[in-house]
Amino acid sequence: MKTMGAKEIGIRQIHVDDGFWNKRIRNAVEKVVPYQWRVLNDREPGAEPSHAIRNFKIAAGMEEGEFYGYQFQDSDVAKWIEAASYSLIYEDSPEIRAALDEAIGIIEKAQQADGYLDTHYILKKPDRKWKEIAHGHELYCTGHMLEAAVAYRAVTGDDRLLRVMEKNVELIRSVFGSEEGKLDSYPGHEEIELALMKAYHATGEKKYLELADYFVENRGTRPAFLEEERFLELSRENRWLEADYHQAHARIRDQKTAEGHAVRAMYFYTGAADVALEKQDPTLKAALDTLWDNVTGKRMYLTGGVGSQGEGERFTIDYDLPNDTCYTETCAAIGLAMWALRMLKLDPDAKYADVMERALYNNVLSGISEDGEHYFYVNPLMLKPDVARYRKDHESVEPERVKWFGCACCPPNVIRTLCGLGGYVYTQDGDAVYQHLYVGNKAQFFTSQGEASLSCESSMPWEGNASVTYHGPSGMTLYLRVPSYAENFSVKRNGEPLKPEKEKGYVRLTPQDGDVFTVHDGTLRNGSCKV
């Protein structure tokens, strides 16, 4: 089994068709993507005002008005574009295509001549561009919009938005760097690092890799943004907003514990893992393993939730995991799943897939209602509504899911995850394919011997059975995950029991055309118990 070499199969090559996930994805595609478009356009009664599309229209000169919302309001539109793009894989809706075309057209007009694109600073603080890196979110918004551009091109083949973001990235490259006259700094809120790596993989252009590498390796150096007036002001007022809040208290190889804002940390580690894979850097991989062990062994809830404290939305200390006051933001669990997927590409070890599965089925899904139109930002494990209304340390807790938030990072993040779920199922390393999740699906991929396909039918999580059918040439290797909770995992080939080799929590198989592998995890369900 190779290490530091795997990559995911392209998103259009995987179509999820699963008894557990189908209704959630179908609802996201048919109802939630249109619902969120209405919210972003302030056309949904009862939802918190968004103003996100209108901010872009004002910046584009299409309407008059003032900026409204948080400084990262643009990112809500970006995540919606990504979700809507993925939704076209399941239903090629003319209405959603038209909405995407409209959104991208507005963004094109809002972009300034030099490539700058951030409506908060265009409309509200034009004299403060690149002067509030710690808390300004310019690079964060760029990251999400760059992810959206890559997704839109991957699904539609249209590079309009990617051209916009390429111009934006060129501006950032001219502003940031270690050369004389540039800002030698890094993002206050990580995100652009992982987005740059997506752009690099999509285009092959080294400039994206180089900028991602610079931001990852530079984090923790001083002074960077640590001498900005706004950073100093907030860190003096609130000790939870010091350098560790931004994972800027040390260089990544010197960080031994997960600190600070949980979403920032997850996005940072995700981007760093992408860079480690591309550079084939074992020291960066080792640093990430140290952080992984700390997060998943000492600072993670059984639901895959991370970030136990509401103040600063952050990590605290080992084993500080209260049930009623835990924060466990939905976005942080999504970030954990993203990081786990990158670690699987670095090193296909089932321990990463176990956590990815745990987060996706629990803390991510708890953030959205069955109808897809109500959301949790915070996901405590225990809630007493009457208590939550009166306690200061419960002020972020909603007794019931709500239609939208003023700070609405989570709702579009959940939907882009649901619509893009296929991207979490497999990774590929040459002629080896790893199946990490037993999610029903049909997938096509390419080997050195030619095109091949896998289809999976799964009754998990309700029953511990799945079947995987292979069609294609000989010479490929299939690795099927053995979940950590599997008490007596078994696998058969065409009905005949096998005892295959097991490597890092995966069974190693050499399929032939037409082979059907059936797996059973041996775990008792449906109220059964062992005595």
The two tokens of residue 521 are 């995890």
By CB atoms closer than 10 A (0-12, 13-18, 19+), residue 494 is exposed
Do residues 148 and 75 lie in contact, with contact meaning Cβ atoms separated by under 8 Å? no
The two tokens of residue 97 are 């295509």
**How far is residue 442's CA from residue 455's CA, in Å, rounded to a whole number?**
4
Phi, psi of 450 (to 5 degrees): 135, -170
> How would you label 450-474 residue by residue, b for 16+ Cβ within 10 Å and e otherwise?
eebebbbbbbbbeebebbbbbebee
Measuring CA to CA, how many Å separate 41 from each of 76, 227, 475, 518? 11, 38, 52, 47
Measure CA of the first residue to CA of the last residue in the chain; give whole Å: 38
- Could you say which of 313, 329, 357, 373 is catalytic? 313
Do residues 230 and 130 lie in contact, with contact meaning Cβ atoms separated by under 8 Å? no
Active-site residue flag, 409: yes
CA atoms within 13 A on the CB side of 495: 0
The two tokens of residue 312 are 């600063």
Q: Where are the beta strands (DSSP E) in 259-325?
A: none
Among residues 325, 316, 328, 304, which one has the least CA distance to residue 378?
328
**How far is residue 268's CA from residue 249's CA, in Å, rounded to a whole number?**
13
Does residue 12 sit in helix, strand or coil? helix
Among residues 329, 193, 340, which one has the least CA distance to residue 267?
193
Do residues 164 and 111 lie in contact, with contact meaning Cβ atoms separated by under 8 Å? yes
- Could you say which of 409, 410, 419, 456 is catalytic? 409
Do residues 238 and 312 lie in contact, with contact meaning Cβ atoms separated by under 8 Å? yes
Active-site residue flag, 313: yes
**How far is residue 335's CA from residue 264's CA, in Å, rounded to a whole number?**
9
**How far is residue 155's CA from residue 316's CA, in Å, rounded to a whole number?**
40
Residues acting as catalytic residues:
313, 409
